[in-house]
Structure 1
Amino acid sequence: MKILITGATSGFGKAIAERFALPGNELWITGRRTERLDLLQQGLEQKGITVRTSGLDVRDKQMVNTLADAVGKEWGGVDILVNNAGLALGVSSIDEGDTADWDDMIDTNVKGLLYVTRAIAPMMRQQQSGHIINIGSTAGKVVYQNGNVYCATKFAVDAISQSARIDLLPYRIKVTSINPGMAETEFSLVRFKGDAARAGQVYNGFEALRAEDIADTVYYCATLPPHVCINDLTITCTQQANSIYKVGS
């Protein structure tokens, strides 16, 4: 299989790349932090698979189109696209939100996902097969206080996934939305802009998901028989019910 993963430098994306690093697979990993991509490539290639890397900011439509051109020339098509690149910034009331943070979240989580999907989906349509896996969030299912714009972007991912499944149905293209709950990755560190102490408090008192849990879920969905498609899947740790209710909340 040929697997293209966005946001592969840490967290879910990195774990997904590691999970798919199996004989017979080829990976194309992307992200903004190219030094991390290079390190990940070195580690994955030790497993005997072919790994290509591209520095990519999904917010940049030209960069996305350049990547798609390269993928088309090298691979001719893509079997699995994992739209993982995304982030949350800040936790503020709607009347106090940082509009720059809003722009970054919308441009990455919504427009970036759309740019990549628009660039890659025609290859899948031409080959009459493929699987697009979008990483959403429980925040795209239930809104929580001060989540406003981040929640809106993940509700958008849910809507885009549903509509893409319909639009691409005639071409035997699967679309899956995977919606994780709280996971102990760099997510909170990014959200709190490097405040490690504050980020660490988010996971106090319960055992959160790990990046590997989501990677296993993505792999399961991607390796089902051709006639089976999981359209939508929400996954939380045992001590969390949704984006509001968890142990200690």
Structure 2
Amino acid sequence: MATIVITGSTKGIGKGLAQEFFNQGHQVVVSGRNQDDANQCANDIGKGSDKVIAVACDTTDKAQVEQLWQAATDRFGAVDIWINNAGLARTVWSILDTPDDEVNTMVTTNMLGTINCCKVVANGMKQQGGGKIFNMLGGGSDGEYFPGMGIYGTTKRGLDYFTNALSKELKDDHILVGKIRPGMIITEGVIREAKADWDNFQKRRKFANVLCDKVETVAPFLVTNILNFNKTGKKIAWLNPRKMTLRLLGSLLKKPKDKFAEFGL
């Protein structure tokens, strides 16, 4: 039985991962900026189980990250896996049109928050003798360009470099560092962005129906690979090129089901 901490896990893929880890018998620490939201998430997942605890944490504040680490180790003794999932994607503006406050929030949450967590967790894992750290990547992390994702993609591209560097620096410390690319998942954030940029979403809807997946489809695959991960610096990718190609070819033969209607889109 492993102990897993997941930042930004009160909703979306973070919550989906937490649920799957719990379903497989592991101990989970869920976290978000709001304690009430974290409490609700823990209750949704564990139904009162003592294997799930909730800790509020704003990852842009290093002191709060340290408190999250301490709460997890106080309760469960050690942290085996830490997943840096907390992040924000705003994808409805060009770079020049993105409001300054949104730029600041994306850069500090996606970059600074992850760096804070990695520093705190790596030091803690050195003391306990090892562990696994995973950073959640996304669109832009491989250098590809997507309209409206100039700022968000830049933060994820930066995280790819950061994760490569961290994996090399920790290679002799029994700490495995990995990347997670969950693919195109229908989350609360995706729904929000679609509603905010409706016309462009409608243009992309057919393509999205081919490549997008639900959280509950992707989470079991990611959890299995996270638990089995044994080579630092590597990437766990759900939507690989082969899978994308097969789906696109298949869509030419059979129209894909609309996956967004049930979400009110």
Normalized against structure 1, the TM-score is what? 0.84
Return the letter of the residue paired with 2:166: A
Alignment of 1:1-249 (within 5 A): 1-22=2-23, 24-46=25-47, 48=49, 50-141=51-142, 142-191=144-193, 195=196, 201=202, 204-205=205-206, 206-207=209-210, 208-224=212-228, 227-228=230-231, 231-236=234-239, 240=244
Aligned-residue offset at 1:235 = 3.0
Aligned-residue offset at 1:68 = 2.4
- The size of the alignment, in residue pairs, is 241
Identity of aligned residues (%): 25
Query: Helix, strand or coil for the counterpart of 1:8?
Result: coil
Return the letter of the residue paired with 2:181: N
User: Does the Cα contact within 8 Å between 1:221 and 1:230 map onto a contact in 2?
Assistant: no
CA 126–56 in structure 1, closer or farther in 2 if over 3 Å, else same: same
Structure with more of its chain in helix, by fraction:
2
CA 138–197 in structure 1, closer or farther in 2 if over 3 Å, else same: closer
Aligned-residue offset at 1:174 = 1.2
Alignment correspondent of 2:261: none
Alignment correspondent of 2:256: none
Aligned-residue offset at 1:219 = 1.0
Alignment correspondent of 1:244: none
Partners of 1:164 and 1:217 lie apart in 2 by 24
In structure 2, list runs of 5 or more residues that go unmatched. Answer: 246-250, 253-265
Greater shift after overlay, 150-159 or 58-67? 58-67
Aligned-residue offset at 1:220 = 1.7
Partners of 1:174 and 1:138 lie apart in 2 by 23
What per-residue deviation string (whole Å, max 9, x for no partner) do you get for residues 154-192 of structure 1?
Answer: 011111111111111112211110123321111224446
Query: Helix, strand or coil for the counterpart of 2:22?
Result: coil
In structure 1, list runs of 5 or more residues that go unmatched. Answer: 242-246
- Higher RCO (CA < 8 A, seq sep 6+): 1
Return the letter of the residue paired with 1:5: I
Query: Helix, strand or coil for the counterpart of 1:105?
Result: helix
Alignment correspondent of 2:255: none
Aligned-residue offset at 1:36 = 3.1
Partners of 2:203 and 2:5 lie apart in 1 by 31
**Which of the two has higher C-alpha Rg?**
2
Aligned-residue offset at 1:62 = 2.4
